Amino acid sequence: MPSNDDNSPEIETVDEEEDFSDGTDWLLRAIIKNYSQSGYEIGVTLTVGGSVISGLLISGRSYFAELAKMLVSNSVSEDDIFAELADDLGGLGAEIYDKPTDAPDDWQQSPITFIHLKGARFHAPGHAGIPLKDGFLWRGKLASIDAFSIGSFVVGDSDTN
């Protein structure tokens, strides 16, 4: 992960060509674009349709790499469904997020429409986060995020009782 020094990305102002008619929060999209896509992992807490989800914000590229690793770790043979999914999904990060070698000079990445978390947990008042250990990979539609805050819930000893 990059260090927090003078080379840290800065929040860019809103691109005039970006479409926010779907209700997407420009600040959250800018954080994803400028930080998570640069390799930073940032704790975030999201409200989605009344549910609270908390975890580490990661890039889409990292999401697909982590997903492939998880699938391989659950695989029991080279040709089971987990191994096949890992093969099929593992390369999507590069395919979706990297500039193709034959792309024109004015190529731009597609607009950010999804948000990706690792170590994600659902939270409800009076209950420990679900799942209790490790969390899970989560991918959600950016336009479905109702609210967000920087920082994630930490499961403490009192949460497991």
Q: Give the C-alpha separation, 147 to 52, whole Å.
A: 9
pTM of the model: 0.78
Report the distance separating Cα 89 and Cα 83, nearest Å.
10
CB atoms closer than 10 angstroms to residue 88: 11
List all residues 6 or more positions away from 59 whose beta carbon is below 8 Å from its beta carbon. 32, 36, 37, 39, 93, 97, 116
Instruction: Provide the pLDDT confidence category of residue 161 given band limits of 50, 70 and 90.
Output: very low
- CA torsion, ordered 113, 154, 39, 110, to nearest 10 deg: 0
Mean pLDDT of 21-38: 84
Per-residue pLDDT of 109-122, as tens digits, reads 778 899 999 999 99
| Bridge pairing between strands 42-48 and 51-58 | antiparallel
State phi, psi for 136 to the nearest 5 degrees: -145, 170
The answer to whether residue 47 scores a pLDDT higher than 90 is yes
The predicted structure's pLDDT at residue 15:
55
